Amino acid sequence: MNFNFNSQYIEFDSEDIPYSIYEIEGVSKITELSRQLRTFLNYKAATIHYRFQPKTVSCCYQTKKSISEIEVKLKKITSKFINLLIQIKGNSVSYEIELKKKILGLLVNEDNKNQIKDLRNLTKKLFMIIHLLSEQEIYIYPLLLKFILNLSQEACIVYKILNKWASGYYDELRLNYAQLFNELKELIQTNQTYKNYKKEHRDLEVRLKE
């Protein structure tokens, strides 16, 4: 590998980089996109399952221990995620505008680097928890499912901005989650059992819209 230390930037011959490095990075990216798609399809299946499940089942809203434990982690990460988005938004119209500005100013602002690093880590953890819940019997808990579908849209917006190479993918994924959210919302509105929405879910959803 040929370095030129007299240059302002470090130069190297790309041909000297082992192909395995490109291959590993490519496989990692494909694996992530595949997992994201699998997560969405799990929630799509859960929504269909909820639509056709017996009404007697939907009346028994007793959270399983496995889901309850994951839900606690979800709320904790979600709270941090929302707080950071609000912090990034500041007095702007939306956090999206400010996040794009911060990315453009990465080279000259250390605070931007720290905020974006924190946001990337939080969003990654959020998506992992969302995936774990998608593999549970989440259709039995439509209020939690509705909250996740709403939250997933925001996480997709963040990843769309942070991962320019896959911006189109995450934008399309966000639209799919939005459609699924609206579908489930209508189903829940026709079910009288869920009129008393959990306050903690409502509060987090309100903050997502701020």
Per residue of the chain (210 residues), give pLDDT as tens.
333 334 343 343 444 445 444 445 667 888 899 999 999 999 999 999 999 887 655 444 455 778 888 999 999 999 999 999 999 998 888 899 999 888 887 656 777 888 999 999 999 999 999 999 999 999 989 999 999 999 999 999 999 999 999 999 999 999 999 999 999 999 988 765 555 455 556 666 666 666
The count of structural domains within the chain is 1
Q: CA-to-CA distance for 173 and 206, rounded, in angstroms?
A: 22
Instruction: Please check whether residue 16 lies inside any domain of the structure.
Output: no
* Radius of gyration for the alpha carbons in the chain, expressed in angstroms and rounded: 20
Asked if residue 183 is part of any domain, the answer here is yes
Q: Which of 139, 140, 141, 153 is nearest to 182 (CA)?
A: 153
Measured from the Cβ of residue 155, the count of other Cβ atoms closer than 10 Å reads 23
CA 183: distance to chain centroid? 19
For residue 1, is it within any domain? no
- Residue 168 domain-assigned (yes or no): yes
In the prediction, which pLDDT does 161 show? 95
Predicted confidence (pLDDT) per residue in 68-88, tens digit? 889 999 999 999 999 999 999
Q: Whole-number mean pLDDT of the chain?
A: 80
Whether 188 and 143 have beta carbons less than 8 Å apart is answered as yes
Domain-located, residue 86 = yes
In a domain, 7, yes or no: no
Residue 2 in any domain: the answer is no
- Rounded Cα–Cα distance for residues 169 and 159 (Å): 10
Q: What is the pLDDT of residue 208?
A: 67
Output the pTM of the full model: 0.79
Q: For the chain, how many residues are written?
A: 210
11 inside domain: no
Q: Which residue segment(s) compose the domain that 73 sits in? A: 26-208
Residue 92 is encoded by which pair of tokens? 């702007």
CA distance 163 to 75: 24
Q: Provide the pLDDT for residue 210.
A: 60
Identify the pLDDT of residue 192.
Answer: 54
Residue 46: per-residue pLDDT: 96
Q: What angle do CA 43, 36, 186 make, to 5 degrees?
A: 30
